[in-house]
Amino acid sequence: MGDRQFWDDKFARRGNQPLPPEKALVEHVACFKKGSVLDIACGDGRNSLFLLERGFQVTGIDFSREALKRLEMFARQRNHLVATRQVDLNEPDALADLGTFDNIVINHYRLNKESLARLHSLVSDEGILFVCGFGHAHRHDPTIRPEDLIHPSDIDDVLSHFRLLTYLEEENEIGSIVTYIFCKEKGEK
């Protein structure tokens, strides 16, 4: 979906307000475990800000420095503290040394299967993994590459450590959106 320069330029041109949070996140935030959230590929923080306002401690990671600067600015404007870290998710060990979180949000980013399979080590017992993005049934769209679409097989390895709580598939004005909400089984390592 573009290289670092593409995303830095895109975020530099955005207005002075973040986009609204993901609809499915707003509708299902009640199932999140109280505590911390790792927002993977957070962009300029539309979901991070929503979660901060609900009392979560948020760490946002993205490979766009411009996006992270905007998230930090938006959080400051709202009197919130947010931790940020510039991370290239294409690197094999991108998620190493991040710590453990009560919840993980991955929104409109297709994390590779290897990283998805390792997420269980970053989530506390009974923590939530929220994955939302363009689904495998998304119609042709020149801005969304086929390799950016989330396929059911992407989550095969996730199911060995997490229980699926909710699966949603929705067609809206931007296309076919899928949402998976998982809970980490107690005692899973």
When pLDDT is averaged across residues 107-134 and rounded to a whole number, the result is 94
Residue 91 identity (one-letter amino acid): E
pLDDT per residue as tens digits for the range 121-166: 999 999 999 999 998 887 767 777 788 889 999 999 899 999 999 9
HEC profile of 123-179: EEEEEEEEEEEEECCCCCCCCCCHHHCECHHHHCCHHHCEEEEEEEEEEECCEEEEE
- The residues with which 17 forms a beta bridge, in sequence order, are none
| Sheet with strand 57-62: strands edge to edge | 83-86, 57-62, 36-40, 101-107, 123-134, 175-184, 162-172
What is this structure's pTM?
0.91
Predicted local distance difference test score (pLDDT) of residue 189: 62
pLDDT per residue as tens digits for the range 61-88: 999 999 999 999 999 999 999 999 999 9
Write out the H or E segment, with its range, that includes residue 72. Answer: helix 65-77
**In 3-state terms, what secondary structure has residue 62?**
strand
